[in-house]
A and B are shown apart, each in its own frame.
Chain A
Amino acid sequence: MTLDYRAEPTTAAPPVVDVPPVAARTRRRFRVPRPVRRLAGPVLVLAAWALVCATGLVGPQVLPAPWSVLGAGWDLAVSGKLWFHLSASLERVGLGLVLGVVLGTALAVASGFARVGEDLIDSTVQLFKSVPHVALVPLLIVWFGINQEPRIILITAGVFVPVYINTFSAIRGVDRDLVEAAKAFGATRRMLVTQVVLPGALPGFLVGLRFALAAAWLSLVFAETINTNQGLGYLMSLAQTLLQTDVMMFTILTYAVIGLLSYALVKGLEHRLLRWRNGYEGA
C-alpha cells in the first residue's frame, strides 16, 4: 500500500503558487553595497563613543574622546617616540617569528618524515602545547635575566607550536595516491620531499602561520611586561603610570592595526603561493 499525504484527491490540479520574479524584486529597490553595510557597525560604535565623550557623560580620564586618542597618536608620531617603540616591538616579533617558524617547520619535517622523529618529537611538543607558554615568563627571567633573550624566547615558544602542529598534520595528510604516482614516475626521495610533500603541506603550514602571527603579538604583550624601556608594552605601562588614558588607547589601536596588517600579509602570501588551488593564473 502506498501512503498518500495529500489532503486533496489525486485528480485535483496541483495548487498554483505565485512566485514573485526574484530578479525584478531585487532590481526595484536600491541595495546598499555590502562593504558599506559591514562598516555600519564600527561606525555606530565610534559615533556612540564620540557622543558619550562630547556630552561629558564620562570623564576624559576614563574614556578619552576619539579625537584625543588620535591627537595623542599624532604627538607620539611627530616626536618620533611611536617609531622608536614600534620598531623595538617589531624587531622582537620579527625575530621570534622567524625563529619560531624555522623551529616549528624543522620539527614538523623531522617528525613528519621519520617514525623515529615522530616518536621523539611529537609527544614532546604535544606535552609542551598543554602548557600556556606565557606562564614561562618568571622562569625565563630566572634563566636569562631581564635582557632581550627571554622576550624573544617567549615569542618563539608561542610561535613554534601552531606552526609545528599544522605543518605536521599537513605533511601526514598529503594524498598518498599522489606520492605513489610520483614514485611511479621516477621521483627520487629528494623530489618526493621538495616537489610533492612540502608543496602539499603548504596550505596547512600557512594556516599555522596565521595562528603563529596572532600568538606572536599576544606573546609580545607579555614579553614586554618584563623590565624594559622600549617597545609598545613599555609605552603602555608608562602611560598607565602617568594616567594617560589616550596614549593607552592609542597603543591598543596600534596593536589592532598591526594585527590586521599581519592578517593581510598572510592572506597575500596565500594568494601568491596557493595560486594553483583556484587556478588563478597571476598577473
Chain B
Amino acid sequence: MSAVEAAPAVQVRGLRRAYGERVVLQDVSLDIRTGEVVAMLGRSGVGKSTFLRVLGGFDPDAEGQVVVPDNRAIVFQSPRLLPWLKVLPNVVFGMTDPDRRERGRRALAEVGLLDHAGAWPNTLSGGEAQRTALARALVREPDLLLLDEPFGALDALTRMTMHRLVGELLRVHRPATLLVTHDVDEAIALGDRVVVIDSGRIAVDVSVDLPRPRRRETAEVAALRRRLLRELGVDDAELDG
C-alpha cells in the first residue's frame, strides 16, 4: 500500500456555532476517515446534534472550515418517512437512477424488510420504521453517513438488534460515519473511535481497538465505559449503584 493515506472524508477545523450570545460549539476540529465510525457522546444540549447538522449541510450559519463529501445520507432520531408513500418509494425518494427500485429492494432486503416494500409507513413498528430509514440512507451508498441518535426512541431489545444490524451494515458499506448518541454502550459497541464533546470542544478522543462483539463484562470494555461515563459527569458512586 502507498505510504500516503487518502485524505479523510470529513475534515473539520475550528468549527464554531453560536446562537446569539450562547456559544454551543466553541472550537471543534475532527477528521473522519472513509470506513471509520466516530461515535460522538455528550450530555444533552452540548451541541452534538448541532455538529451533525453542520456536517449534513443544514446549518449555513456555522463558522469554521468544514470539508464533507457531497454524497451524504442521514438517519434522524425519528424515522421521518413520508406517510403517503409506501415503504419502497420512501426508500428511493429523491433518487434519479433508473435502477433505483431494484437498489431499493436490495437495501430493504439488507435491513430485513423486503416483504414490507408495499406497506404504508403507519403500519410499521418503531423498529421497522427506523430500519426503513436506515435503508433509505444506505441505498444511496453515501460517502458520509450521519446517524442522529437513531435508536433513541426504540425499546431496549429492539435497540440491541439494531446495534448488531447497523454494525454489520457499516462494515459492508464502509462509509465515513458519525454516530451521535448519549448512550455510552452504544458508542462503544459501534464506534471505531469515541469522542466526548463538552463545553463546545472535543474533550476526549479515544480509539476503540477492541474485538467485536464488545462485551460489557470484559475488563477493557468496562474500563473504557467507566472512563467515558466519568467524562460525561457520572461519578463512581452512581456507576456502582
Contacts between chains A and B (CB distance < 8 A), count: 52
Q: How far is the CB of B177 from chain A (nearest CB, A)?
A: 16
The number of chain A residues with a CB under 8 A from chain B is: 21
Answer yes or no: A181 CB below 8 A from chain B CBs: yes
Q: Closest chain B residue to A198 by CB distance?
A: B84
Q: Is the interface of B mostly helix, strand, loop or mixed?
A: loop
Q: Closest chain B residue to A187 by CB distance?
A: B94
Contact of A277 among B83, B96, B136 (CB under 8 A): B83
Contact of A276 among B78, B84, B95 (CB under 8 A): B84
Contacts of A186 in B (CB 8 A): 94-96
Q: Considering the complex, which residues of chain A in the window 160-182 have a beta carbon less than 8 Å from any beta carbon of chain B?
A: 177-178, 180-182
Q: Is the CB of B76 within 8 A of A185?
A: no
Contacts of A185 in B (CB 8 A): 73, 93-94, 136, 140
Contact of B82 among A180, A184, A199 (CB under 8 A): A199
Provide the bound-state CA to CA distance between A186 and B96, in Å: 9
Interface size class of B (residues with CB under 8 A): 20 to 34
Provide the bound-state CA to CA distance between A199 and B83, in Å: 9
Q: Is the CB of A178 within 8 A of B94?
A: no
Q: How far is the CB of B230 from chain A (nearest CB, A)?
A: 34
Q: How far is the CB of A190 from chain B (nearest CB, A)?
A: 12
Q: Considering the complex, which residues of chain A in the window 172-212 have a beta carbon less than 8 Å from any beta carbon of chain B?
A: 177-178, 180-182, 184-187, 191, 195-196, 199-200, 202
Q: Considering the complex, which residues of chain B in the window 76-98 have a beta carbon less than 8 Å from any beta carbon of chain A?
A: 76, 78, 80, 82-85, 93-96
Q: Return the CB mask of B85-120 against A: 1 if under 8 Å, else 0.
A: 100000001111000000000000000000000011
Provide the bound-state CA to CA distance between A196 and B81, in Å: 10
Q: Is the CB of A177 within 8 A of B94?
A: no
Provide the bound-state CA to CA distance between A218 and B82, in Å: 37
Q: Closest chain B residue to A273 by CB distance?
A: B84
Q: Taking each of B73, B80, B123, which has the highest tally of chain A beta carbons within 10 Å of its own beta carbon? A: B80
Q: Is the CB of B120 within 8 A of A196?
A: no
Q: How far is the CB of B186 from chain A (nearest CB, A)?
A: 22
Q: How far is the CB of B192 from chain A (nearest CB, A)?
A: 24
Contacts of A177 in B (CB 8 A): 76, 78, 80
Can you name 16 extra interface pairs (CB under 8 A) apart from A180-B80, A195-B93, A199-B84?
A177-B76, A178-B82, A181-B74, A181-B76, A184-B56, A184-B72, A185-B136, A191-B94, A195-B82, A202-B84, A276-B83, A276-B121, A278-B122, A279-B122, A279-B123, A281-B120
| B residues with CB within 8 A of A | 56, 58, 72-74, 76, 78, 80, 82-85, 93-96, 119-123, 136, 140
| Shortest 9 CB-CB contacts between residues of A and residues of B | A186-B94, A279-B123, A181-B80, A185-B94, A199-B84, A276-B84, A279-B122, A279-B120, A276-B120
